[in-house]
Structure 1
Amino acid sequence: MSSPENVLQNDTAEEIPQQLQGKKLTWKDSLDLESCKVGSGGHHRSKGEEWSLILHLAFQSLGVVYGDLGTSPLYVFPSTFPDGIKHNDDILGVLSLIFYTITLLPLIKYIFIVLRANDNGDGGTFALYSMICRYAKLGLIPSQEAEDRDVSTFHLELSNNRMKRAFTIKNKLENSKIFKFFLLFAAMLGTSMVIGDGVLTPCISVLSAVGGIKNATKAMTEAAILVLLFMVQRFGTDKVGYSFAPIICVWLLFIAGIGVYNIFKFDPLVVKAINPKYIVDYFRRNKDKAWVSLGGVILCITGSEALFADVGHFTVRSIQISTCILIYPAIILQYTGQASFLRKNNDLVLDTFYKSIPGRMYWPTFVVAVLASIIASQSMISGTFSIIQQSLSLGCFPRVKIVHTSAKYKGQVYIPEVNYLLMVACVFITIGFRTTIKIGNAYGIAVVFVMTLTSAFLVLVMIMIWKTHIVLIILYVLIIGSIELVYLSSVLFKFDQGGYLPLAFALFLMSVMYIWNYVYRKKYFYELDHKISPDKVKEIMVENKSYRLPGLAIFYSELVHGIPPIFKHYVDNVPALHSVLVFVSIKSLPISKVPVEERFLFRRVQSNDFHVYRCVVRYGYTDIRNKQEPFEKILVEGLKVFIREDYMGMAHALDRGEKDGEVEDGGSTKGENTDDEIAKEEEAMDRDIEVLDKAWRCGVVHFVGEHDVVASKGSGIGKRIMIDYAYNFLKKNLRQSNKMFDIPQKRMLKVGMTYEL
């Protein structure tokens, strides 16, 4: 991994002013200089990729993205007809519903619309939320600066004739605090539902797959498979990833072939279900029972959210190709084959999939079905890890350990605490429910809630970012939105039949996320209100000028604007300072990735001879933090680059007759005085770098604030419960900041403070 020095040293003094043309610089605030280096080049593959690479990624995506969607034929018809088939044409009505549901939602909505709304190549509920917050001031997450907007590689062509509408809506929403909270709650709800999906997927997939073997033996239990599944998570998906795609590919070929066989063997005319008239007839015959059965039909699109959530591992084009060429035809053929089989075997609906398999193909299909179900579970569990990582980075989830299981794919992560909690939840749910029908009711609510929330976020993207024509937005809402709302009303009807589970689970997770985010914001604004002014820093530095210890001291804080109060607290108790001080703010941006060369923003705390610097270290929510990069070394090298460029900028300004960014009347001044000034600046630059090198060799000390938070006097009972009990309970039982950023224990000092929030 290249350091900032290697990347930035290539920039010459002549190039810097060209980059800054048209931008008024204030040399006292070097964030302007640093932010100009943030390029707009994408970090994902361009549209001109070679087709061989796209096809390779399309094949790999089979093993990561489609396990859940591809195994849905195991349980859809049994969940739709739990009480048996009352009329033979009901099969055609349900098949028509399945066909149009798969066509409109996964295919048209996700593949051709939602995938375009990726955030720097990454997808998911939080990616949509963060993208919206970046284009409008709708986020409650603090410390969003102008410089951070330039980090994004997501740039869109705006349509001028629709900007007025978008601008008006944007302003109204930005001025609504209620809407900001609503948007955050919606993002948390969507995230919680996806996590609930990660709990339910292993249960229903394994129960459905193992259901076929119970006819022959009961030696294999669901609980044992689930425990084994979660125990291997620590090895990471990368080690078994290459075996996943071939298995899913074989599975899709199996179900497509079996589907074609059943169509020709039992009832070829079943293909007439493409006529939506059979949907109308189905509802006329069954009325409210048909509406209730939609809770089973919706299971045919389980895993559709993975098409969007996992796009960061691949490309939009590769997922579109694999879906259209293999996934969509295979599952449509399988459902059509099952319907053809049921037309002649109404009484076998509760075990449709396995009963419809030709005799000699039974055991090979069963083995592949179990493997495919495990892979389906794997994809949603991995998705859960990724979503929690995003929430954690944006201050919306308690600290947990993030283990990156692959050096090649940064998105592949493992969270031990969450893994074991998911395992326990899956085992208890499987033992408690025992049947796929009840779990399917819970599963349906999780699926439809996430899809509906994605549509809501997408409408905001269409209005404010894409500037989509109003007619197209209305069509989307009327067609896609109305379908999802009808399905949502159906699954909510089964609330007392297992549907309460994901909602209860989501409510618990949302409570934890909101409590953590609430105190996170309160702590930040407390530090912002109690920050130390530059004049106060100068006063402290002057008082302690004769008490400078050799070495480099790094003070960590979440505060971006100003010097944190921990510094004053430390000086009051230890009246001696190190020769070089750096105030580091680890900042999470609402984007997916920040390149290493764009990660550090430096500024100097005047005067120069104090050797005090501020540094903002910026990470996206999928970036690796200090695990595989020598953080101290990169920070010091980046600081050297900043010092050189700071002095080069001043020297260049002197050479052009400028000082502090202001051009004097009469043009440039070049003479002996200017040459002397430039020489002095170069000497000062060498001296500052020498002081930094000497401090680096003497050793680095990391100062971490150990903040105790209590509710301020006079706070209401709700606030006291959230801060004094709920938050402090989570904090005591989860990881601290020094473990999150791998700060060396031997060189770390904790400075305790109490914040009254």
Structure 2
Amino acid sequence: MSTSNANPPAAPGAHGHGKVGLAGLVVGAIGVVFGDIGTSPLYTIREAFAPHYGLVANHDTVLGVLSMVFWSLMLVVTIKYVTIIMRADNDGEGGIMALMALAQRSLRKGSRPAYLVGILGIFGASLFFGDGVITPAISVLSAVEGLEVIAPQLHHWIVPVTLVVLVTLFATQRYGTAKVGRVFGPVTVVWFLALAALGIMNIVHEPEVLKAINPLWAARFFLDHSFGGIFILGAVVLAVTGGEAIYTDMGHFGARPIRIAWYFFVLPSLMINYLGQGALILEDPAAIRNPFYIGVPEWARWPMLGLATAATVIASQAVITGGFSVARQAMQLGYIPRMRIMHTSRETIGQIYIPAINWSMMVIVIGLVLGFGSSAALATAYGVSVSLTMLIDTLLLAIVAHALWPRWRKWVVPLCLVFFAIDLGFVVANGAKIPVGGWFPLVLGIVLFTLLRTWRRGRQLLHDEIRKEGIQLDSFLPGLMLAPPVRVPGTAIFLTADQGVVPHALLHNLKHNKVLHERNVFLTVETLSTPYAPAHRRLKIEPIGDDFHRVLVRFGFMETPDVPLALMRSCDERDGIYFDPMDTTYFASRETIVAEAHRGMPVWRDRLFALMHRNAAPATGFFHIPGNRLVELGSQVEI
């Protein structure tokens, strides 16, 4: 199975992992990628037997729930995400935005299906953030709540301790996932070993629980509980939250290390622990109030509390790093305003830090902890958005498999029907949570979707207005050269989004300064649907006479655009142009948006776009254009 029909591969090393060995990448992946799904045992089984589900902890029910957990992990995470979707890599990058770009590549540009795929992808990315911010809150809270089992008198310290842990986590993000992975990887290895050891210790007392691997117990559960049994999937889904994060974080460590870690270490540890909790409940039904901590020997509860807290910090890390990846992809594809991006590793280009995303997530997570106050309350809000995201992933996978995998479509597409049925069941079950807390991630996802679509549509309207009011370059230059202004030494580079229209900055320069540089370049930056632009496609130079040139610079959606560096590295004497950084001046136009009624979007969206545009990082800074070689000229545009 491959995506070789999509695009040629990037240059070697473009998104490699430097000198980091396979074992190091596996440990790093365990530390960063599997944190979310790895801490689900803290609350999944406890939530399944919460009073609002009305289940009795008898033999058949316990085995039925465990069977659903086991087969959800096998079908949704192991087969769908780890085995299949991770092969839908966009030159090594994963996540819903990369999957959307692959799906759109198989469709005619500008067509209705391509537009709908874009809507699906953006909505899925918005929902990913909506549920993603709940992961740090519910994970850390569930770990610290072990205090209630160990020392009930410390109950009032749960929320303060949780807040301290979370603030510390977000404050250390700027050091990068490489450093974090080196610290967290060994800790998480110990965590999964502890999960397996606890599970084995409890299974020995009730080996009957091993029968839950038989899918007939899950089928019997639905037969016994009829249609109402589907709502228990609202708790079962907690065991698979993190599957999307595994795919999103693929660019940080690569597919092979992640697969090795999951198949041979993470999955067995998780399932052994779930079975162990079930064995404990069979032995003592009263343990359903907190089967994870009650299953820990008394002498080990304090160390386990510390280890669980560390593990839940790692769970939060998986979501945060995934958020950075999705945000950069959305930024490069033109769905969110430009933000400052910091690279945190010299060896792995995919490891980044985006301050604006980091601090926004921290504020929301702290608000969730204070607002809900307990992991049980947060569980009622968890799962709605992630189940919808998984459903969208299945739809996009079916499109990619049908269009780009001719050898494998015969079995992947039918499997997508199975995945769709499972995902739909999760969506229906989690729909019942909407009135009691599930509305929060849904509302947050819709708000983010509105922002993303407003930015995308606003940029299109801005481009259309500039083009409508602009002068065609091909007719302007001959007229200008009939009576040329004074020409001064040096190279002027005018940034423009439309190569066919005279840039506003050139018109303003002629009007106010009344000079023309010796050499003039109209430069356009294009973002490709591949993560990294191949070297042979990086630069295109077209002479148009009288020392005027059109230049097109291309970047992949996972690259940080550096225009001066691209111009210097890609210069070739055959092109007839050399960019001397000390003799080059960049001219850019910075538009002020004016919202007008009965034009473009509704006025409130026009004003929202104007606000976002005003606060976006300048294109010049985003393209790494030096401030001492830059002239910005303003213009006003009505949309």
Superposition TM-score, scaled by structure 1 size: 0.78
In structure 1, what is the Cα distance between the partners aligned to 2:412 and 2:265?
30
AA partner of residue 199 (structure 1): V
In structure 2, what is the Cα distance between the partners aligned to 1:190 and 1:72?
22
In structure 2, what is the Cα distance between the partners aligned to 1:736 and 1:371?
39
Is the contact between residue 44 and residue 120 of structure 1 (CA under 8 Å) also seen in structure 2? Answer: no
Compared CA separation, residues 407 and 337, structure 1 to 2 (3 A):
same
2:542 alignment counterpart: 603
2:567 alignment counterpart: 635
In structure 2, what is the Cα distance between the partners aligned to 1:63 and 1:754?
49
2:594 alignment counterpart: 710
Among candidates 269, 290, 295, match of residue 356 of structure 1: 295
1:124 alignment counterpart: 95
Among candidates 45, 66, 70, match of residue 99 of structure 1: 70
Among candidates 594, 600, 603, match of residue 720 of structure 1: 603
In structure 1, what is the Cα distance between the partners aligned to 2:542 and 2:456?
28
User: Can you list the C-alpha shifts for 1:393-412, whole angstroms capped at 9, x where unaligned?
Assistant: 11100222222222222222
Among candidates 133, 140, 156, match of residue 104 of structure 2: 133
**Aligned-residue offset at 1:257:** 1.0
Q: Does 1:226 align with 2:166?
A: yes
AA partner of residue 479 (structure 2): E
Among candidates 507, 510, 521, match of residue 446 of structure 2: 507
In structure 2, what is the Cα distance between the partners aligned to 1:570 and 1:435?
61
Is the contact between residue 589 and residue 634 of structure 2 (CA under 8 Å) also seen in structure 1? Answer: yes
1:244 alignment counterpart: 184
Among candidates 710, 730, 752, match of residue 612 of structure 2: 730
In structure 2, what is the Cα distance between the partners aligned to 1:233 and 1:704?
33
Moved more, 329-338 or 533-542: 533-542
**Aligned-residue offset at 1:236:** 2.1
Secondary structure of the residue aligned to 2:602 is helix
Among candidates 310, 323, 340, match of residue 262 of structure 2: 323
2:628 alignment counterpart: 746
Compared CA separation, residues 81 and 43, structure 1 to 2 (3 A):
farther
Compared CA separation, residues 587 and 290, structure 1 to 2 (3 A):
same
AA partner of residue 180 (structure 2): V
AA partner of residue 283 (structure 1): F
Is the contact between residue 531 and residue 565 of structure 1 (CA under 8 Å) also seen in structure 2? Answer: no
Is the contact between residue 393 and residue 588 of structure 1 (CA under 8 Å) also seen in structure 2? Answer: yes
1:212 alignment counterpart: 146
Percent identical residues? 30
In structure 2, what is the Cα distance between the partners aligned to 1:51 and 1:472?
37
Among candidates 79, 86, 92, match of residue 56 of structure 2: 86
User: Can you list the C-alpha shifts for 1:403-456, whole angstroms capped at 9, x where unaligned?
Assistant: 222222222222222222211111111111122233223221122111111000
Is the contact between residue 711 and residue 719 of structure 1 (CA under 8 Å) also seen in structure 2? Answer: no
AA partner of residue 632 (structure 1): P
In structure 1, what is the Cα distance between the partners aligned to 2:83 and 2:401?
14
Compared CA separation, residues 232 and 637, structure 1 to 2 (3 A):
closer
**Aligned-residue offset at 1:471:** 5.0
**Aligned-residue offset at 1:477:** 3.4
2:34 alignment counterpart: 66
Is the contact between residue 77 and residue 350 of structure 1 (CA under 8 Å) also seen in structure 2? Answer: no
1:534 alignment counterpart: 474
User: Can you list the C-alpha shifts for 1:565-586, whole angstroms capped at 9, x where unaligned?
Assistant: 4433432333211112122212
User: Can you list the C-alpha shifts for 1:654-706, whole angstroms capped at 9, x where unaligned?
Assistant: xxxxxxxxxxxxxxxxxxxxxxxxxxxxxxx6xx66xx65xx55x33221111
Compared CA separation, residues 45 and 314, structure 1 to 2 (3 A):
farther
Matches within 5 A, 1:48-63: 53-63=21-31
Among candidates 112, 116, 119, match of residue 182 of structure 1: 116
Q: Does 1:261 align with 2:175?
A: no
Secondary structure of the residue aligned to 1:604 is strand
Superposition TM-score, scaled by structure 2 size: 0.91
Is the contact between residue 592 and residue 614 of structure 2 (CA under 8 Å) also seen in structure 1? Answer: no
In structure 2, what is the Cα distance between the partners aligned to 1:594 and 1:618?
6
Moved more, 300-309 or 739-748: 739-748
2:381 alignment counterpart: 442
Segments of 5+ residues of structure 2 without an aligned counterpart are 1-6
Compared CA separation, residues 42 and 442, structure 1 to 2 (3 A):
same
AA partner of residue 593 (structure 2): V
Secondary structure of the residue aligned to 2:382 is helix
Compared CA separation, residues 280 and 554, structure 1 to 2 (3 A):
same
Secondary structure of the residue aligned to 1:287 is helix
In structure 1, what is the Cα distance between the partners aligned to 2:185 and 2:306?
16
Is the contact between residue 553 and residue 702 of structure 1 (CA under 8 Å) also seen in structure 2? Answer: yes
Is the contact between residue 67 and residue 215 of structure 2 (CA under 8 Å) also seen in structure 1? Answer: yes
Is the contact between residue 57 and residue 281 of structure 2 (CA under 8 Å) also seen in structure 1? Answer: no
Is the contact between residue 10 and residue 534 of structure 2 (CA under 8 Å) also seen in structure 1? Answer: no
Compared CA separation, residues 543 and 459, structure 1 to 2 (3 A):
same
In structure 2, what is the Cα distance between the partners aligned to 1:289 and 1:714?
49
In structure 2, what is the Cα distance between the partners aligned to 1:422 and 1:333?
33
2:553 alignment counterpart: 617
Is the contact between residue 532 and residue 565 of structure 1 (CA under 8 Å) also seen in structure 2? Answer: no
In structure 1, what is the Cα distance between the partners aligned to 2:302 and 2:12?
42
Among candidates 128, 137, 152, match of residue 203 of structure 1: 137
In structure 2, what is the Cα distance between the partners aligned to 1:633 and 1:417?
25
**Aligned-residue offset at 1:550:** 1.6
1:153 alignment counterpart: none
**Aligned-residue offset at 1:70:** 1.0
User: Can you list the C-alpha shifts for 1:315-350, whole angstroms capped at 9, x where unaligned?
Assistant: 322222111100111101010111001101211212
Is the contact between residue 99 and residue 396 of structure 2 (CA under 8 Å) also seen in structure 1? Answer: yes
Secondary structure of the residue aligned to 2:302 is helix
Compared CA separation, residues 740 and 348, structure 1 to 2 (3 A):
same
2:128 alignment counterpart: 194
AA partner of residue 621 (structure 1): F
In structure 2, what is the Cα distance between the partners aligned to 1:82 and 1:74?
14
Structure number with bigger Rg: 1
In structure 2, what is the Cα distance between the partners aligned to 1:333 and 1:245?
20
In structure 2, what is the Cα distance between the partners aligned to 1:599 and 1:44?
15
Is the contact between residue 195 and residue 273 of structure 2 (CA under 8 Å) also seen in structure 1? Answer: yes
Secondary structure of the residue aligned to 1:709 is strand
In structure 2, what is the Cα distance between the partners aligned to 1:719 and 1:544?
44
Q: Does 1:273 align with 2:155?
A: no
Secondary structure of the residue aligned to 1:410 is coil
Is the contact between residue 103 and residue 117 of structure 2 (CA under 8 Å) also seen in structure 1? Answer: no
Q: Does 1:412 align with 2:351?
A: yes
Compared CA separation, residues 319 and 633, structure 1 to 2 (3 A):
closer
1:115 alignment counterpart: 86
**Aligned-residue offset at 1:590:** 1.6
AA partner of residue 72 (structure 1): S
Is the contact between residue 18 and residue 347 of structure 2 (CA under 8 Å) also seen in structure 1? Answer: no
1:653 alignment counterpart: none
2:367 alignment counterpart: 428
Secondary structure of the residue aligned to 1:605 is strand
In structure 2, what is the Cα distance between the partners aligned to 1:636 and 1:575?
29
Moved more, 588-597 or 194-203: 588-597
Is the contact between residue 46 and residue 290 of structure 2 (CA under 8 Å) also seen in structure 1? Answer: yes
1:166 alignment counterpart: none
Compared CA separation, residues 55 and 241, structure 1 to 2 (3 A):
closer
1:19 alignment counterpart: none
Is the contact between residue 474 and residue 500 of structure 2 (CA under 8 Å) also seen in structure 1? Answer: no
2:4 alignment counterpart: none
Compared CA separation, residues 312 and 634, structure 1 to 2 (3 A):
closer
User: Can you list the C-alpha shifts for 1:356-413, whole angstroms capped at 9, x where unaligned?
Assistant: 0122332222221111110110111111111111111111002222222222222222
Is the contact between residue 587 and residue 632 of structure 2 (CA under 8 Å) also seen in structure 1? Answer: yes
**Aligned-residue offset at 1:488:** 0.8
Compared CA separation, residues 341 and 742, structure 1 to 2 (3 A):
same
Secondary structure of the residue aligned to 2:311 is helix
Among candidates 561, 565, 572, match of residue 511 of structure 2: 572
Secondary structure of the residue aligned to 1:240 is helix
Is the contact between residue 410 and residue 624 of structure 1 (CA under 8 Å) also seen in structure 2? Answer: no
Is the contact between residue 258 and residue 337 of structure 1 (CA under 8 Å) also seen in structure 2? Answer: yes
Secondary structure of the residue aligned to 1:750 is strand
